Each structure stands twice: as structure tokens, then as C-alpha cells.
Amino acid sequence: MSPTISTDRKFKRRQKVVATADLPGVPAGTFGKVWFVSGVTWIRYHVDFENGVEIANVDGNDLRDRKEYLAEQQATEAEQLAAERQAASAARREELLANLADGPAGH
């Protein structure tokens, strides 16, 4: 199966982006800025990443808007925190119900 390439313009010049895939010298999750957009049938971007690496011909499928990426990260962290709190609450409830039935430990 051949890799898909971006044929529509997703990002503008000077737009802040994040790498969603490991690129040469740039790990996934690295922030950068689009400096040049080129292509007719294959839209590609010249991106300057925060770790000092500049890469030309980056496909749009390997990039994502920074604001969307950060919002998704915050939503994921909030869901994880809510799940942890719910699990801790359920464990505490089980402990309190067990103490009601048997009396507290040490009595």
C-alpha cells in the first residue's frame, strides 16, 4: 500500500504546527513554524522546528495545528485525571462500606 500524500493546503505561511510523526532529526510532538508552502499536486511545507532542525518537503499529514494539538492533549489529561479520581473514589467507598459491615480495623 502506498503512503497517502496531502493534496490540499492545510497550513499557511508562519502558522505554528507540531510534528505528528517522527521525521529525520525531529521526534513526534516537536513544535515548529511553517516558513514556505509549495506544490501543486503534492502540497508540502518547509518547517523550522524548535529543536533547531529545518526540514523542507514535509507532507501535511505529518503536521498538525499547534492549538488543536494542545487542546487535544489537555482533554486527554483531563479525562485521565477524572478516571483516576473516579477510581480513587470507588476504592474509598468500598473501604468505607467494608468498615461499616465489619467495623473499623483495630477495634
Q: Following DSSP, what letter does each residue of 23-55 receive, concatenated? A: BTTB-TT-EEEEEEEE-SSS-EEEEEETTS-EE
**Any idea which residue has 502506498 for its cell?**
2
HSE-up of 49 (CA within 13 Å, CB side)?
23
Q: Where are the domains of the chain?
A: 16-66
In whole angstroms, what is the distance from residue 64 CA to residue 10 CA? 9
Grid cell for residue 26:
525531529
Contact 24, 58 (CB under 8 A): no
Name the fold adopted by 16-66.
Answer: SH3 type barrels. (2.30.30)
Residue 2 has pLDDT above 60, yes or no: no
Mean pLDDT of 4-15: 84
Checking if the pLDDT of 1 tops 50, the result is: no
pLDDT tens string 34-69: 999 998 888 999 999 999 999 999 999 999 999 999
